[in-house]
Every structure is written in structure tokens, then in C-alpha cells.
Amino acid sequence: MNTIQTKIAAGCVLFAASALSAGAATLVAVSSEVNGIHEYSVDGTTWTHTRQITTQNALQMVHHGGVIYATTESSVLSINVASGAVTTLATRGSGIASSWTTGNAQGIVFGPDGDLYFSTAFNASGSGIYKLDTAGTTFSQFISYSGTGYTLNNARDLVWVGDNLYVSSRAGFNATGRPIYEFDDTGAYVGTITTGTGLQAPQSLYAEGGTLYIGSGNSGTQIRTIDLAGTLPNDGSVLATGGQNILDILRIEGILYTAHYNSGTGSVGEIRIEAGAAVLTNASGTLNGMVIIPEPSSVLLGLSSFGFLLMFRRRVS
């Protein structure tokens, strides 16, 4: 039986896929900056392409109720999984997002309140963390670029664990000793959970229970894990190495996968098993993000629960 682990904000239902047929493959959407969003059927470690959801290019994604919410560098989109129809919720420097004038949108998550939160990087190293509702009617800056105790220099990703938000501050591609910051549900700085010595270019973030997974964004690629219930600050331990430039981390059918961008001549995107062997390769560019997209029966189960139990981080519901 597949287990769908939500990655959306605190208190959400973690529902087993009893709504899916036992032994059924898991449907996963994979985003690219150059090839749109594609659907794959994942059975064990076998990834089979089933269809292209949309030609719209995208960076990171979350999913709920048959809709993918995705970032591009300058916008946040909603995408109907069934039809591929794309709606722009917010555009940098325009309309409700006129206050967002610099920084490219990167990671995206659901918060404890059900709103979308996204980080910014590049383009003057970003401009902090923003939030908007799923209808695209309200928009505000949630965390500024810098404040007492922190500077969000290239904040590539973010993840909610309970009512606390963790944000990576990667800085440059090969930067070392970079921090992971912790904020509360009001956006107030809580602390720095890393020591500033051992962490290499922290980029993608993923959480399971009280464990934080960190994917690095440099040529010495690592996945590190930090026990959030343990003594902090610390830089955790190395779980796996391999590949280059981890853009996303997701557990599918009990297996931890990473999305990579291997830069340089002949750049390729890859999905790897715990930064190990590649199971999917895109020779024409990046593979940015992964999100589980449940079958319709699971979507209905999630919708019936969403009104009173919000979900638990980043890419699935």
C-alpha cells in the first residue's frame, strides 16, 4: 500500500492511500524550467512517463485538491492537473504583488493558515518570504530580507514543521558554513539551527516528523539530516552524497528521491535515489521539483479533511 505523506502545514491529515488501490503506482508531477510539467507513474524505482500536464515551465510546486501551485522566477501559478489550465495568481511588481519588486520566486509551501508561502533568491539575492492566498486575492511580505539575527541571502527553500518555518540561506553556489533559519508563525526570527561551519550551500529542504532533510547546492552535493528535537544548533549528519545541485527532496513509496541540476557543458536534470543512481534524466535542462498528485478518490478524501485539518509542508496533499 502506498502512503501519501503531506508536506503542507501543521496539523494536517497524513492519510494512507487506502483510497488508492493496494499496490497501485504513485502519480508524480515533475517540473522543469524548459520542458513544462510532466506526470510520471512511479512503481518502486521505475518511473514511467504518462503525459505532459502543461507546457508551462515551473520551478517548485505544491498540490492540493487537483491543483498544482507553482513558482516561476517572476510569478506564482495555479495549474489544473486534469486540464493543464494555468492561472496566474501573482506577478512580481504587478497588481496585488506590486510590493514584490526584486528576487526570483523559488520554494513554495502551504502554511498553517492554508495560505501559500514562497521564498525568493537571486536578482539582488532575493527579497525575503511572501504569502498569498490560493485565490490570488491577498498578498504580503511575511519575512523581510534581513533583520536582527538573520539575512536571507538566496533563500532557495522553506518548510513548515508545526508552527515554525525553516528557511535555507544558500548564498553562492559553493558557499560553506551557511545557515538554516527558524521563524515562528508570525514571521518573527526564532534562531539559527545550524552552527555556520559544516553546512555546504544549503538549498532544498524537506521534513518528516521532527527530522529536517537538507540538500546542498554545490558540486560536493550532500543530503544532511538534522533532528529538530535534538541539541541545536548543529549541522546534522550526512545521509548521502552524489550528483550535483539538489533542487528538491521527496519520499515516494518509502524511497527518498532528489531532483538535481547538473550544470556545465551538456547540462542535464536528474531524479536520483537519495543522491545515488539516477532513475530519470532530462538531457535538455533542469528537473526542478516533484509533487505527488493523488488519484481522484484521494483528492476527495483530502478535500473532505482540509476544512478542519491543514496539511504538513511542501509538495503533496
What pairs with residue 26 in β-bridges?
42
Kindly give, in sequence order, each residue whose CB lies less than 8 Å from that of residue 225, ignoring residues fewer than 6 positions away: 211, 212, 213, 214, 236, 237, 239
Lowest mean pLDDT among 26-30, 188-192, 292-296: 292-296
Amino acid residing at 229: A
Mean pLDDT across 254-271: 85
* pLDDT class of 57 with cuts at 50, 70, 90: very high
Those residues with Cβ within 8 angstroms of residue 92's Cβ, 6 or more apart along the chain or in another chain: 74, 75, 100, 101, 103, 105
Mean pLDDT of 161-172: 92
| Cα–Cα distance measured from residue 281 to residue 73, given in angstroms and rounded to the nearest whole number | 23
Which of 6-10, 31-35, 38-42, 199-203 is least confident? 6-10
Q: What is the pLDDT of residue 6?
A: 34
Q: Are 192 and 151 in contact (CB under 8 A)?
A: no
What single DSSP character describes residue 91? E
Per-residue model confidence (pLDDT) at position 219: 62
pLDDT band at 285 (very low <50, low <70, confident <90, very high): confident
The 10s digit of each residue's pLDDT in 208-249 is 989 999 998 776 688 999 999 999 999 999 999 888 889 999
Q: How far apart are CA 71 and CA 290, in angstroms?
A: 13
Question: Does the structure show a pLDDT above 60 at 9?
Answer: no
The 8-class DSSP code of residue 16 comes to B
Task: Give percent of the chain above pLDDT 70.
Answer: 84
Does 311 have pLDDT greater than 80? no
d(CA 58, CA 50): 18
pLDDT above 60: residue 315 = no
Mean pLDDT of the chain: 85
Contact 279, 243 (CB under 8 A): no
Distance of CA 11 to the CA centre of its chain: 18
Please, what's the largest Cα pairwise distance for the chain?
51
Q: Can you give the pTM of this predicted structure? A: 0.87
pLDDT of residue 123: 84
